[in-house]
Amino acid sequence: MRVECRWVGRMPYKECWELQQQLFDELLAKRGEESDFAGTIIFVEHPAVYTLGKSGNISNMLIDEARLNALGAEFYHIDRGGDITFHGEGQVVCYPILDLQKLGIGLKRYIELLEQSIIEAVAEYGIGACRLAGATGVWLCDRVSNAEGESIERNWRKICAIGVKASRYVTMHGLALNASTDLKWFTMINPCGFVDKGVTSISKELFREVSFDEASKVLCEKLLANFGLVKG
């Protein structure tokens, strides 16, 4: 199956949301055609913006509108799954607009493949990431021994958030991988609704800068491989 991989640079959230909707509508219009075209994957950086999923809780936004405006950030309540998250400079935001019917997979498997692609992408940097039961996205934790010598997990921190929408087997929204994101932005929310877990980035874990361009290319390779797609 072919897919278009599109790097759109830095784009305001609303403008990119409209682009997603346009590509979504175009892909739906092609439903039933004899074609090996599965859709488009967008890679983008957004200016500072907080987004809240359709079932999210506004109480997880910890600052008021005046403070939000003073920081120069935007806020949108949108139609994806998940709770509140942040998008900004140094973050690889990825929006796959894909026809799951053509790929022969359901939504659950789609999310699993997104998570697997992220896990493999950060592994290229020597970072061991994993899934966390009951919490969509990709996580890191520290494994230590307790007084009894048993291995325990602590300091859970999210490196990539996932929030998607699928309608008539076509996807929208996607994932946000923290490459070199300024993590202070996450202190103003309960990220993804969690109050007992943190947030991290590739750069923080490595103690060196990892750019959007570098991380997005690694992620793209993993997505293509796991979904069995080729650029074209």
Residue 164: is it exposed, middle or buried by C-beta count within 10 angstroms (0-12/13-18/19+)? buried
Q: How far apart are CA 83 and CA 155, in angstroms?
A: 21
Q: What is the CATH number of the domain that holds 176?
A: 3.30.930.10
Q: What angle do CA 127, 128, 131 make, to 5 degrees?
A: 130
Three-state SS at 186: helix
Domains contained in the chain, number: 1
**64-83 confidence digits (pLDDT tens):** 989 998 999 999 999 998 89
Among 59-73, 182-196, 208-222, name the most confident range.
Answer: 208-222
**Per-residue confidence (pLDDT) for residue 147, from 0 to 100:** 64
**Per-residue confidence (pLDDT) for residue 149, from 0 to 100:** 66
**Per-residue confidence (pLDDT) for residue 144, from 0 to 100:** 73
Instruction: Give the residue-averaged pLDDT of 10-33.
Output: 95
Q: Which domain holds residue 94?
A: 2-231
CB 69 within 8 A of CB 25: no
Among 52-56, 175-179, 185-189, name the most confident range.
Answer: 175-179
Q: How far apart are CA 77 and CA 50, in angstroms?
A: 9
Question: Is position 192 annotated as part of the catalytic site?
Answer: yes
- Amino acid letter for position 111: I
Res. 140: pLDDT tops 70: yes
Q: Active-site residue among 5, 16, 160, 192?
A: 192
CB 83 within 8 A of CB 192: yes
Predicted model pTM:
0.94
**Per-residue confidence (pLDDT) for residue 192, from 0 to 100:** 77
Instruction: Give the residue-averaged pLDDT of 224-229.
Output: 98
More confident residue, 54 or 140: 140
Confidence of residue 9 (pLDDT cuts 50, 70, 90): very high
Q: Give the residues across from 85 on adjacent strands.
A: 51
